[in-house]
Every structure is written in structure tokens, then in C-alpha cells.
């Protein structure tokens, strides 16, 4: 099994639904996102997937989230509370939909809302 990973970041605002505490009010984060892909076979050049392709896909997803109020501006979060856990799931699903080579799968997405707090989503 081979795994590769990249990271990127975005800045956005959100507020948590069904939550009592200061995070129920609108606030922002500078999010860091790490994604890991996995697969069993390498291409002719010896790569699971070109890092440039993975970075391009991740940047497309970051552009959906960057400088937005997630609750109001991103359709997925109009009904789903934009917790770190749900943001990780959103990115996982968006990235999975962009994978053209079905032998390469998204292994996990890690979303850091601060330097010492993160959530992971895997299927």
C-alpha cells in the first residue's frame, strides 16, 4: 500500500448550530487541511498520483471555502453544522469526486482549526 499527502489552508468564518458556548456565535479560523491518498499500484513514472494534480484538486476545494461564511455561503453547510469534523467530511467527499483514477482513494482528511485542535475523517 502506498500513501501520499499534501496540505493547504483556507480562512473562513462559521458558527456552530445546536451548540451552547462562545462558538455558537460567528467567528473565524485560519484552517489547515491535510489530505492523504492511498493505492496499491504506481503509474509508469513510479508515482501513485502526481503531487501537482493532488494540489490542484485540493486548491479547488479550498477556493470553495476560502473567505466565506461557511453556514451561509457553502450549500453543504446550510443544513449541516460546519464543525471541524463536518468540514473534514466535506473535503473528503469533494476530493473523492475529483479522483479520476479509481485505484487511488482518499484515505483521510485532517482539518486543523488551530495549532493544537484537529478532526479527522476517514471512510
Dist. CA 38–CA 99, nearest whole Å = 11
Active site residue 69: no
Catalytic residue among 23, 24, 60, 123: 23
Catalytic residue among 60, 113, 115, 123: 113
Dihedral over Cα of 5, 59, 23, 86: its sign: negative
Active site residue 9: no
SS3 state of residue 61: helix
Residue written as grid cell 466565506: 68
Dist. CA 35–CA 46, nearest whole Å = 20
Catalytic residue among 9, 67, 100, 115: 67
At what angle are helices 51-65 and 84-98 packed, to 10 degrees?
Answer: 130
* Nearest of 121, 111, 4 to residue 52 by alpha carbon: 4
Annotated active-site positions, please?
23, 67, 113
Amino acid at each position: 500500500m502506498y500513501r501520499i499527502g499534501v496540505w493547504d489552508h483556507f480562512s473562513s468564518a462559521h458558527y456552530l448550530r445546536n451548540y451552547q458556548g462562545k462558538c455558537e456565535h460567528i467567528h473565524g479560523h485560519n484552517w489547515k487541511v491535510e489530505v492523504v491518498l492511498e493505492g496499491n499500484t504506481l503509474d509508469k513514472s513510479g508515482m501513485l498520483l502526481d503531487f501537482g494534480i493532488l494540489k490542484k484538486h485540493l486548491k479547488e476545494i479550498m477556493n470553495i471555502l476560502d473567505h466565506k461564511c461557511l453556514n451561509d455561503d457553502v450549500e453543504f453547510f446550510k443544513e449541516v453544522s460546519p464543525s471541524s469534523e463536518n468540514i473534514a467530511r466535506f473535503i473528503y467527499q469533494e476530493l473523492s469526486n475529483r479522483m479520476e483514477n479509481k485505484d487511488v482513494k482518499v484515505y483521510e482528511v485532517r482539518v486543523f482549526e488551530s495549532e493544537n485542535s484537529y478532526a479527522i475523517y476517514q471512510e
